[in-house]
């Protein structure tokens, strides 16, 4: 039976989730603090942890790191409020599998848990089964925006080659889907595709996961282990969040790329491999190189071709396409038959900022389908932050007189759509329509400000 650990300082939530999940066939333990959770993680093995982002003695990122050190293969779902979605999205860099937003709905949690466990199961499969599962097909939805068309053009261009590719984009923009699309359009399409999240790998275990080890090579190595490079041999290895790889393992990876050979930890012999490397990051690796956190020679080896994915808010023409795609997925998961969006609901979805990009859109649509009482999603089915993004702005009656720009420099990143337009107008008025000063307060450059003025048809 699969065991789940619920970590939340609200005892009522722990009790309700425990009862509900036990009725659905899971064994459940609960913890109200990070320290209590750590004790349980040391005593028992878990399939999945459901962890509140805000705990009395720690936060989601720190708790996630502790979980991954104690049980690297456990899947983690973060519980968050909508005001913390931007922060929760960052936990994906450290290995979170998904997130759910309060208030919690049992059906939504159950679907998310089942999907997360299914995605995570591949990590524990024997090598022979893992190859079959890793090379399975996937649906890649192509947007209609100019940015999406450029990405698709680059995929078609680079896929037939064996060039190493870096995919750059914010969390949740679909970097793994792009990597899979490259693999499926390549001559390696019938061979394994193996994805590794470097952010979820504890430093001391990354070498074993990537290169394998032999029995007895270190404490806990009770049997030989085949690493991801061997599993992906003749196919494609996708290394997500490559910037999180430790310097020591960067050196090992560089050696593999140069010599096309790996050596299991504890072994004295090399194994020849033929693997195409695709990496992804939401970090500025050029900056990381300058700061000495990422090897320059490795960066150039990986950066034979670069694909940049724009955030969803910059390709609004794609939002409707993806919304209907996620609607179809949600109907299938929740056994419902919602077939459309009301015009005002679709308008709000289009205007929202989407801090978590496609992943956030997927979660919002799934929850809206769950809440829908008819055959279409209406405005009331959407989160309040999407229905009324203006509430995130400073009180208009007070203007910006009392607004502390030093404490919140990225004002435009906290609002969306029509709210963003109003924010720009408010700042322009506050600065006497001085564009240079307005750009400084909005923490954007003048060119970006001019582009936004044009996009929002603001004429001065």
Same domain, 103 and 167: no
Q: Are 442 and 412 in contact (CB under 8 A)?
A: yes
Q: Say how far apart CA 193 and CA 210 lie, in whole Å.
A: 14
Residues 150 and 277 in one domain: yes
Q: What is the pLDDT of residue 449?
A: 83
Q: Is pLDDT of 107 > 80? A: yes
Are residue 152 and residue 292 in the same domain, yes or no? Answer: yes
Kindly report, residue by residue over 289-324, the tens digit of the pLDDT: 999 999 999 999 999 999 999 999 999 989 999 999
| 273 and 160 fall within a common domain | yes
- 156 and 280 assigned to the same domain: yes
75 and 220 housed in the same domain: no
pTM of the model: 0.72
Same structural domain, 262 and 242: yes
C-alpha distances out from residue 105 to 240, 342, 368, 371, Å: 31, 23, 11, 9
Cβ contacts of 271 within 8 Å, gap of 6 or more = 230, 261, 262, 263, 264
Q: Which of 70, 101, 123 is the last residue of a domain?
A: 123
Instruction: Quickly tell me which residue has 């491999």 as its tokens.
Output: 273
At residue 231's C-alpha, the angle toward residues 228 and 237, to 5°, is: 60
Boundary-marking domain end, from 123, 143, 164: 123
Same domain, 316 and 303: no
Range of the domain at 370: 312-387
371 versus 429: the higher-pLDDT residue is 371
Task: Confirm whether 421 is domain-assigned.
Answer: yes
Instruction: Mark whether 87 and 186 lie in a shared domain.
Output: no
Q: According to the model, what pLDDT value does residue 347 have?
A: 93
Q: Is residue 460 part of a domain?
A: no
- State yes or no: pLDDT of 17 exceeds 90: yes
Model pLDDT, residue 418 = 57
Pair 279, 317 in one domain: no
Task: Tell me, yes or no, whether 24 and 150 share the same domain.
Answer: no
């Amino acid at each position: 039976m699969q065991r789940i650990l619920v970590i939340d300082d609200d005892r009522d939530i722990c009790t309700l989730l425990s009862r509900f999940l036990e009725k659905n066939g899971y064994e459940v333990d609960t913890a109200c603090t990070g320290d209590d959770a750590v004790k349980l993680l040391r005593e028992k093995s878990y399939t999945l942890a459901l962890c509140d982002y805000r705990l009395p003695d720690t936060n989601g990122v720190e708790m996630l790191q502790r979980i991954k050190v104690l049980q690297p293969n456990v899947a983690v779902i973060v519980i968050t409020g909508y005001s913390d979605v931007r922060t929760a999205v960052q936990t994906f860099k450290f290995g979170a599998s998904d997130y759910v937003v309060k208030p919690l709905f049992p059906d939504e949690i159950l679907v998310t848990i089942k999907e997360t466990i299914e995605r995570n199961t591949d990590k524990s499969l024997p090598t022979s089964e893992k190859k079959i599962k890793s090379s399975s097909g996937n649906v890649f939805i192509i947007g209609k925006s100019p940015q999406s068309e450029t990405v698709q053009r680059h995929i078609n261009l680079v896929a037939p080659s064996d060039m190493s590719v870096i995919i750059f984009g914010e969390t949740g923009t679909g970097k793994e889907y792009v990597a899979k699309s490259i693999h499926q359009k390549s001559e390696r399409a019938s061979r394994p595709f193996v994805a590794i999240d470097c952010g979820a790998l504890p430093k001391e275990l990354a070498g074993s996961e990537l290169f394998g080890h032999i029995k007895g090579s270190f404490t806990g190595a009770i049997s030989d282990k085949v690493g991801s490079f061997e599993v992906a041999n003749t196919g494609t290895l996708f290394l997500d969040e490559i910037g999180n790889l430790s310097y020591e393992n960067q050196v090992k990876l560089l050696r593999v790329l140069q010599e096309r050979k790996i050596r299991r930890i504890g072994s004295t012999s090399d194994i020849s491999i033929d693997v195409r490397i695709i990496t992804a990051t939401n970090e500025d690796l050029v900056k990381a190189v300058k700061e000495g956190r990422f090897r320059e020679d490795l960066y150039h080896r990986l950066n034979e071709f670069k694909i940049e994915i724009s955030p969803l808010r910059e390709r609004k023409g794609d939002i409707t396409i993806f919304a209907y795609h996620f609607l179809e997925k949600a109907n299938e998961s929740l056994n419902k038959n919602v077939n459309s969006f009301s015009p005002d609901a679709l308008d709000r979805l289009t205007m929202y900022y989407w801090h978590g990009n496609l992943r956030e859109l997927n979660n919002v649509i799934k929850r809206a389908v769950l809440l829908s009482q008819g055959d279409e999603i209406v405005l009331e089915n959407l989160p309040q932050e999407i229905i009324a993004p203006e509430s995130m702005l400073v009180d208009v009656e007070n203007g910006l007189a009392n607004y502390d720009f030093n404490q919140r420099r990225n004002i435009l990143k906290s609002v969306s759509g029509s709210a963003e337009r109003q924010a720009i107008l408010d700042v322009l008025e506050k600065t006497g329509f001085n564009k240079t000063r307005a750009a400084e307060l909005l923490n954007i450059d003048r060119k970006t400000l001019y582009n936004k003025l044009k996009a929002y048809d603001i004429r001065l």
